[in-house]
Each structure stands twice: as C-alpha cells, then as structure tokens.
A = this chain, B = another copy of it.
Amino acid sequence: MSKQLNFGAGPCILPQEVFEEASKAVLNFNGLSILEISHRSPDFVAVMDEAIALVKKSLNVPEGYAVMFLQGGASLGFLISAMNMARKHKKAAYIDTGVWSAKAIKEAVNAGLEVDIIASSKADGYKSIPNIDTIDGDYDFVHYTSNNTIYGTQFKKAIDSKIPVVCDMSSDIFSKEINVADFDIIYAGAQKNLGPAGATLYIVKESILGQSSIPMPSYLNLKTHFEKDSMFNTPPVFSIYTSMLNLRYLLKTGGVAAIEKVNQAKADLLYTEIDANPLFMGNVNIKDRSNMNVTFVLTHEELTDEFNAAWKKANIVGLKGHRSAGGFRASMYNALPLSSVEVLVQTMKEFTAEHISKINKK
C-alpha cells in the first residue's frame, strides 16, 4: 500500500525522514533503544539540550526567554499558564475564539482567577477572529489562541497589548515567523508541527517566573522546570527526541521563514480552488482563514457520500471536519507536502467536472 496523504488535524504528519530516524533509534541509539536510556544519561541530556537550542534558533528566541518541555498538552497548559501569570489583580482578559479558548477560560477560573472575555466571535459561530484594539486594563494578563483548529481561523498577527500576553500556539507554532518578545508565555502541545504527542513546549519570559500571587504546586510551577532544565521529573524521552529530529529537519530545509512560504503556497492553492469551484465553499471569514486548517463545505450537501468516496480513492485520509463544525477540514501542517495539496485540488476539480452537469440540470 502506498503511503496515505495525511490531512489529519493532529497528531499529524511529520517528515518521512524523521519517522525513519526515530524508527531506527527505537532499535539502536548508541547501543541501547532510545526507549530504555536514562533521562539522566549524557546521551539524552545532549538530546534535550539540542532540542531546546533548536527551538531557540528556529524562533529567534531572544535573551531572557526560557524554553522548557513539560507534559500534559495544552489542556494542562491552560491551567499552568493562568496560575503562573496570576498577579495582584487575580483577574485576566481572555479572547474567545471557540472551544479551545473556552477550555482555557474554564481553567483560569478553576485556578481562582476572575476572567473578563474582552472579545469574542461567538455571535458568528466562531467564523471570524474578533477585531481587537490595543489591550489594556486592570488585568494580570491577556490570553488568546493563535489558531483555531476546529473552525479554521487564525490570528494573522500578534495582538497589540500593554499588558502581558499569553498565547496557546499549539496548532501553528513553527509554521510561521513570530516575535517571541511579544509574549510572556507561549505554550503548545507538541503534536502538530513539533513532534509526536506527549511533550508540551513552553517559551517563557524568565522575569515572570516565581511571581505568581497564588499557591503553586511544584509540577504546575514553571520555575520548577526552569531550574531543573526540563528534568524536574522523567521527561517524555522519545517525544523530545523525535521533536529534536523534526527541528533539525526544519532548520536543514530553511527554517521557519522557508516553511512559512511553503505553507502560504499550500493555503493559496487550496483556498483558490475552494473559491473558484462552484461545488465548494469556505467556512470562515476570508481575512481570518487559517493556513493550518482549511475548512470548507459542499454547496450541495447531498453529494457528501460521493465526495467522501472521491478523496478516499485518491488515498487521502483525515479530511473529515471536526464533529462540532461538520463539512471538511484539510489540515496542512509543515510536513504535509505541496504535492498532497495538489492531489486534493485535482480531486476536487475532477469531482466537480463529474458532478456539475448533473446539478445544473436539476
């Protein structure tokens, strides 16, 4: 069976070269399996150090920022970020762009903070990114979700804020250039553009560490992990190793600047087809469209079974929309090649050529 074209929303495709090297390391990494080495061994300490250095290099992380690997995904990150940023106001501003924002808000409240939703696109079913002026006020911080996998919306630039900014970048970190200095905490589950599920990345302004106004259990305190170089407890060795391989690949192939261009080309190709093809329609506000998760529907819903059969025949997997949004979703993370998008676009063209005449006759 030839390799499937994986448009899944995550965990998701990584480069084939990374899969191959990770597979070898499971059998032999300097004489042992990567799965059985001690996290305190010089071999793994070197992996962790390189992974952190490659994150810093890829994103031009400035002096005064720390990179850490934890566990628990963004779902624990919602709580950790809020707890670590709690200050004298014990009050935070959240931007609501859908399910992931709502979960983040819930955990800020669970951490004992008061939350003001200062902007929301709930009214239009999260089909847009709200317009936001410069953020200010008696808040400890403002939080937003940079890319919304379910709806297919994305912030095209960082928000403008006079208060500290916390951002969940789980689904678009490493896909485009960012200015890390705009943020106090960036956090991201690894399982999109970084590596396999199991690790969670934090990029944190060092000066915020240890400043929380609420009690902090050890694991939830970012200062704990900073002081122990991400080795407070046994880290997810294999996930970090594979993330390191993926970052090596990213830098070897031109880094974030280069992949951003490729990602833009993939998005342009698919959105152009969606807009030109009479049988398809994009789901969201054009200016807020995500380059990572392209959501669209059939203009004639009764063709759903036929279209499902068409993309499956083209060896495509993972195109089904999220259960709460319906329709289709093409997730196009870094490792998805342009050629896979070309196959999808060609499939859409052929599908329309086959069905358009029948529809026009109705």
Contacts and interface: CB of A to CB of B under 8 A. Distances in A.
Interface residues of A, number: 64
Interface string A191-216: 10001111100000000000000011
Given A23-B24, A110-B218, A198-B237, A37 B8 contact: yes
Contacts of A191: 234
B26 A19 contact: yes
A161 interface: no
A196 B191 CA distance: 17
A112 to B, nearest CB: 7
A39 B110 contact: no
A238 interface: yes
Interface in A175-189: 189
A347 interface: no
Given A26-B26, A27-B23, A238-B239, A35 B73 contact: no
User: How many copies, total?
Assistant: 2
Contact of A218 (B106, B199, B239): B106
Given A3-B31, A72-B76, A107-B218, A9 B38 contact: yes
Nearest to A239: B198
Given A14-B33, A19-B35, A217-B110, A197 B237 contact: yes
Given A3-B31, A8-B37, A32-B317, 17 more contacts: A3-B32, A6-B32, A11-B35, A11-B38, A12-B36, A14-B36, A19-B26, A23-B24, A35-B195, A38-B318, A71-B198, A72-B219, A110-B215, A196-B237, A197-B234, A197-B238, A198-B236
